[in-house]
Structure 1
């Protein structure tokens, strides 16, 4: 539970640097642990709100890029895009998690690996989601998703900053706009326009979004890698 609280504390801390966050209140780990429970081991600050929001993007090929004129310098490349559906795998078959398989396919498409990612946005409807997805994306061994958060490796300035936007837990979860909102954050980072939450030198970024339930995992996940 303390590892989940470390994730929530981190993401709420990140949100204080994001003017577009729904919530911008900082929480210590102990404050997260002592907050009102939702269902053990989750407390309210570990869980995302349901939000109103919108996001938009311009997607084009090389021909379309020529028409953007002054905006060309701000364009980024979609290096990989993978959609996977969940399965009825046994709960203990963690190597078969749809996000894990999808991220491996995305890394192969991009000719990159998890070690090449400078920043990630993952679907953290609750803090436990970040544990699962940080492992699935290959940022640590299975079972260590909470450990790397507790060590500060996923905090801004750490080895692999995750949910620097504040994540769904504090930036907000506008459902249909959530995934594209993740892309907006990563584009902002790659353009070096993130202000005080900027990940220095960011060149490659990955977004993981999912929804629905299929057995013990998401019904559908989407993995996107973008880069300069």
Structure 2
């Protein structure tokens, strides 16, 4: 028997440079807030799942002990940028199978520990040994996409403009100022064709959601909730030699399976939080999710179809480009945004009467894979 699983609360801290905070210091405040909002006590919690990539040993246990939470299973999950969303998938699996009733999912990361620059990748990877870094990977994708389609650097800038406009409405975003196309194009070059404002910032942050089964939701029913209609986790397709970098199979396959699991189509979505680590990603994922035909994603951004008042609002939070990208926390923060939108708690950035939301986050940096992991969730508002 498969149980329904519901998100019954969400909390996070503003993403940014929290240099004086530890992993514990980042995660405890939203953990306390999420439990309080859900009406859940420590004795109600059956398991805790914690996503992070650079937190070290027993990060989850170090966080939980600060609120006196012990004995329950605490699972630490590392799946690169998909860590938090993978932790969510594990919690959903346990509840949907009837193993537990209440789970806490924490995503946390402190990237200021590295002092700036590109994030470290696995030293033994053959491409990393040759000097590959993630800005270069996405820059190659962008170069190929601009060559093969009608997209231009101005379109990449439009994506950043949209992200910053959305982020200006989000009190949790790392960047809350709007920018123009001209400012984006004139910013410092990073990796051709990207300028600095086409790249997500590094920073620190934490987000927490509380999940419940049907019976637990009824018991702790004071908070609004959303139903998890699909939870899909894929690992990357192995291919040596040439591959089309503008068509990441892992995201195409994950989206296909998520739509099938939820019983909906792309046109049903009211909002999407997707992995826009660099501006080109948004165009590529429009196509992967079936929002546009191959090579035609630029039509959506040029025509305003993916902002407020359009067909589907993409990254109403500001996305990684504006909200920031503390990698282990990003997937859970996306889910928090979906929760606030579907329960009418998103404030100035509230979408008009949304029913369906999708979140998407990938983790990469491994030679031979399109990405190492991809996690997609689809949520339905509960009226």
Contact between 2:360 and 2:375, CA under 8 Å: does it hold in 1? Answer: yes
Q: Greater share of strand residues, 1 or 2?
A: 2
Partners of 1:164 and 1:97 lie apart in 2 by: 25
Partners of 1:211 and 1:79 lie apart in 2 by: 22
Contact between 1:84 and 1:221, CA under 8 Å: does it hold in 2? Answer: yes
Query: What is the SS of the residue equivalent to 2:220?
Result: helix
Query: What is the SS of the residue equivalent to 1:69?
Result: coil
1:172 aligns with 2:328: no
What displacement does 1:161 show?
A: 1.0
Partners of 1:216 and 1:155 lie apart in 2 by: 31
Question: Comparing both chains, which one has the higher relative contact order based on Cα–Cα distances under 8 Å and sequence gaps of 6 or more?
Answer: 1
1:36 aligns with 2:193: no
Contact between 1:80 and 1:107, CA under 8 Å: does it hold in 2? Answer: yes
1:5 aligns with 2:5: no
For the aligned residue pairs, the C-alpha RMSD in angstroms reads 1.5
Partners of 2:195 and 2:258 lie apart in 1 by: 33
Deviation digits for residues 109-128 of structure 1, max 9, x if unmatched? 01101010000000011111
Partner residue, 2:371: 218
**Higher CA-based Rg:** 2
Partners of 1:18 and 1:94 lie apart in 2 by: 30
1:183 aligns with 2:304: no
Contact between 2:342 and 2:356, CA under 8 Å: does it hold in 1? Answer: yes
TM-score, normalised by the number of residues in structure 2: 0.57
Contact between 2:245 and 2:370, CA under 8 Å: does it hold in 1? Answer: no
After superposing the two structures, state which structure 1 stretch, 106-115 or 154-163, moved more: 154-163
Partners of 1:61 and 1:44 lie apart in 2 by: 43
Partners of 2:158 and 2:248 lie apart in 1 by: 27
Partners of 2:307 and 2:287 lie apart in 1 by: 16
1:27 to 167, 170, 179: 179
Contact between 1:3 and 1:147, CA under 8 Å: does it hold in 2? Answer: no
TM-score, normalised by the number of residues in structure 1: 0.94
Contact between 1:134 and 1:140, CA under 8 Å: does it hold in 2? Answer: yes
Deviation digits for residues 95-134 of structure 1, max 9, x if unmatched? 6611111111000001101010000000011111111112
Runs of at least 5 residues in structure 2 that lack an aligned partner in the other structure: 1-152
After superposing the two structures, state which structure 1 stretch, 163-172 or 89-98, moved more: 89-98
Correspondence list, 1:1-228, <5 A:
1-71=153-223, 74-89=224-239, 90-92=242-244, 97-214=249-366, 215=368, 217-228=370-381
